[in-house]
Amino acid sequence: MPPTLGSKAPNFRARTTQGMVTLGDYRGRWVVLFSHPADFTPVCTSEFVAFANAQDEFESLNCQLMGLSVDSLPSHLAWLDAIRRELGVSIRFPVIEDPSMAVARAYGMLDQSAENSSTVRSSFIIDPEGIIQTILTYPLSVGRSVSEILRTVKALQHTTRTHSLAPENWQPGEQVFEPSALISDDVSMQDSPLWFYRFRGDQP
Q: What is the DSSP letter of 147?
A: H
Q: Rounded distance, CA 39 to CA 172, Å?
A: 34
Helix ranges (H only) for the chain are: 42-60, 73-87, 102-106, 146-162, 184-188
Specify whether the CB–CB gap between 83 and 89 falls below 8 A.
yes
Active-site residue (options: 21, 31, 44, 96): 44
**Number of CB atoms found within 10 A of residue 24's CB:** 11
Cα maximum dimension of the chain: 65
User: Residue 20 forms beta bridges with which residues?
Assistant: 15
Q: Rounded distance, CA 56 to CA 54, Å?
A: 6
Q: Rounded distance, CA 39 to CA 130, Å?
A: 27
63 in catalytic set: no
Nearest to 43 by CA among 134, 158, 138, 115: 138
Catalytic residues: 44
